Amino acid sequence: MADNKDPMIPDGDVNPIDTDYQIGQDNIVVNVGPFGLDIHNRVFAISGLAVVAFVILTLAFQNQVEPLFTGLRNWLTGNLDWFFISAANIFVVICLVLIVTPLGRVRLGGTEAQPDYGYLGWFSMLFAAGMGIGLMFFGVSEPMSHALSSFGGVSVGEDGLRTDWAPLGAAGNDPEAARQLGMAATIFHWGLHPWAIYAVMALGLALFSFNKGLPLTIRSVFYPLLGERVWGWPGHIIDILAVLATLFGLATSLGYGASQATSGLNYLFGIPMGDTTQILLVIGITAIALVSVLAGLDAGVKRLSEINMILAILLLVFVIFVGPTLLLMTGFFDNLVAYLSFLPELSNPVGREDVNFVSGWTAFYWAWWISWCPFVGMFIARVSRGRTVREFLIAVLLVPSTACVLWMTVFGGTAIDLHFSEGYTAIKDADLPLRLFTMLDALPLAEITSFIAIVLVMVFFVTSSDSGSLVIDVIAAGGKVDAPTPQRVFWCTFEGLVAIALILGGGLAALQAMAVSTGLPFTLVLLMAAFSMIKGLASEPRA
């Protein structure tokens, strides 16, 4: 940090909101021996009870809830895919427009504010918080899935609907066209759209906290629309939805991480697969996250994020050098061109024939990113004070997107090349969580790189759980950023318990169902937040 001054006190000119509300005025403060609690009486109580009830009921009725979760996910992504796709498009357009308008000159924290973190530390935290486990899980499996389904071509059922999972019109029996379409579809899910979702939430939070002087919680973004009612039940509901969306979005990622780490440990050391191993992993990693939570943001998350960036870069560079180096170097630009050329078709919300791809991949992803956005948005907001809106949006959209394109090109491109050029079919035959390790097995030093990959999954797991519990705690404490540590311990523990409940209650289908169902109401919240944030920006003095 630049210094220890209160980040909520602006530097230079701002246009603060005049409200009598004091941060923490609705909080209940309790001291039990050495432990203190400082919680928002409505938000903490309702969201905490809802989470506890969910864990108990899911564990009590494990067998009955699996078909319920699967049906819920299929209905939401099948019937509301157009809504999720349209919303994500709107967020991209808002970000691009703000970059080129005079509103881009507004500085977060006041006209004289200086950035709290240097570029390297800032970029590391942007990247590690937003995408960690997902890149490890999907880096090989998603490009491979799209390329293979595209290569397989279109198949139509008796009802006239497509039964294949290929994006757009597929690319039957043309390996190069299948590779291009597979990579373009993957980058679509990891490029501008998810980062625009995060950027809108983060920018709203940063503006209303650092410039307008409101608490660092989701409800503050709605002040231009709701006025003083934001401190009553409309605001409580917004914050409760944010807590639940964040918790279930995180639990989905922790579930993916656990299934991949279990597959890797089985692959390397013969440790048995199954729910028991996954649950023991979740418990172990949650315990490490608790230690990191106790260390705080600068000591815990920042240090872990930087360690993880170094490990991820080492693994990436290794695969570039021992894999098809020239193909990967040229493939980065080829994939960017393919992404931009297919982008209008991939982001079209209506009249699509590729029903499985749209509902099973795109709609699920957009709902998942939106359920993550209170967590990632608040995290990005907290580390972005001192940046102009233009600098903030360019960095948040382009830096992690470029890193994701590079990651998917290297890992996905290597796997696709091994399959089509070398005839190595083991990746195609492996389950999704195992595909990364199967790809690394075809390269030198497979045991070492696979072990590094498992460590990466686990450390991403810890940073996600750690920063997630920090954020949920701020919302549930009415915007207090220095709430007592036992509250963060509660949320960190329950993230692990929710992940365990969902693993036992239907595995990945249950995880996906909860991410989508909490993502749906929060999409409406985020659309309103975007409008409110633009109103707030318009009233700010510009640097």
**pLDDT tens digits for range 341-356:** 999 999 999 999 999 9
Q: How does pLDDT run across 399-430, given as a tens digit for each residue? A: 889 989 999 999 999 999 999 999 999 999 99
39 in helix, strand or coil? strand
The residue with tokens 């982001």 is 347
- Residue 127 scores a pLDDT above 90: no
Asked whether residue 53 carries a pLDDT value surpassing 70, the answer given is: yes
* In the predicted structure, residue 5 carries a pLDDT above the cut 70: no
Segment 349-376, tens digit of pLDDT: 999 999 999 999 999 999 989 988 888 8
Tokens 């679509």 sit at which residue? 188
* Whether pLDDT at 325 is above 80: yes
Q: Which one has a higher pLDDT value, 70 or 530?
A: 530
d(CA 533, CA 392): 15
1 falls in which pLDDT band (50, 70, 90)?
very low
Name the CA radius of gyration of the chain, rounded.
22
Report whether pLDDT(18) > 50: yes
pLDDT at 443 over 90: yes
- Mean of pLDDT values over 483-508: 85
Residue 78: predicted pLDDT: 87
**So what's the pLDDT on residue 124?**
73
| Partners of 107 in the β-ladder | 388
How much is the average pLDDT of 481-492?
84
Contacts of 159 (CB under 8 A, 6+ apart): none
Per-residue pLDDT, averaged over 298-327, amounts to 84
Question: What's residue 297's pLDDT?
Answer: 56
Q: Which phi-psi region, left, alpha or beta, contains residue 106 (left: φ > 0; alpha: ψ -120 to 50)?
A: beta
Provide the whole-model pTM: 0.92
Count of C-beta atoms within a 10 Å radius of residue 381: 24
Average pLDDT value for the chain: 89
Q: Which of 140, 175, 135 is nearest to 440 (CA)?
A: 140
Q: In whole angstroms, what is the distance from residue 216 CA to residue 23 CA?
A: 9
Indicate if the pLDDT at residue 2 is higher than 50.
no
Dist. CA 299–CA 230, nearest whole Å: 34
| High-pLDDT (> 70) share of the chain, % | 96
Q: Where are the beta strands (DSSP E) in 162-282?
A: none
Q: Confidence band (pLDDT; 50, 70, 90) for 504? A: confident
Q: Return the H-helix or E-strand segment holding 28.
A: strand 27-32
In the predicted structure, residue 122 carries a pLDDT above the cut 90: no
Tell whether the torsion through CA atoms of 355, 358, 360 and 363 is positive or negative.
Answer: negative
Integer Cα distance of 217 and 432 in angstroms:
36
Per the model's pLDDT, the better-predicted residue between 354 and 299 turns out to be 354
Return the half-sphere exposure (C-beta side, CA atoms, 13 A cut-off) of residue 249. Answer: 31
**Mean local confidence (pLDDT), 487-512:** 84
Top mean-pLDDT range of 15-24, 117-126, 203-212, 514-523:
203-212
What whole-number distance in Å separates Cα of residue 140 and Cα of residue 442? 13
Tell me, rounded to whole angstroms, the distance of Cα 334 from its chain centroid: 26
For residue 466, name the pLDDT band (cuts at 50, 70, 90): confident
User: Which residue's structure tokens are 């109401």?
Assistant: 521
Q: Hey, which residues does 388 pair with through a beta bridge? A: 107
Residues 470-483 as b/e (b if ≥16 CB within 10 A, e otherwise) read bbbbbbbbbbbbeb
Q: Is the pLDDT of residue 251 over 90?
A: no
pLDDT at 496 over 80: yes
Give residue 526's pLDDT band: very low, low, confident or very high (50, 70, 90).
very high
What confidence tier does 83 reach under pLDDT thresholds 50, 70, 90? very high
Q: How confident is the model at residue 273 (pLDDT cuts 50, 70, 90)?
A: confident
The confidence score (pLDDT) of residue 301 equals: 65
Please state which of the ranges 274-278, 473-477, 509-513 shows the lowest mean pLDDT: 509-513
Q: What is the pLDDT of residue 362?
A: 96
**DSSP run (H or E) holding 301:** none
For residue 71, pLDDT beyond 90: no
Residues 6+ apart with CB under 8 A from 508: 255, 256, 259
Q: Residue 83, Cβ neighbours under 10 Å: how many?
A: 18
pLDDT at position 96: 96
Q: Is the pLDDT reported for residue 130 higher than 60?
A: no
State residue 357's pLDDT score. 95
Looking at residue 296, its pLDDT comes to 63
Contact present, 200 and 529 (Cβ < 8 Å): yes
pLDDT at 210: 93
- Please give the pLDDT value at position 257: 86
86 — pLDDT class (breaks 50, 70, 90) = very high
Question: d(Cα 419, Cα 307) in Å, to the nearest integer?
Answer: 32
With 60 as the cut, is the pLDDT of residue 306 above it?
yes
Q: Nearest 10 degrees: CA dihedral of 374, 376, 378, 379? A: 160
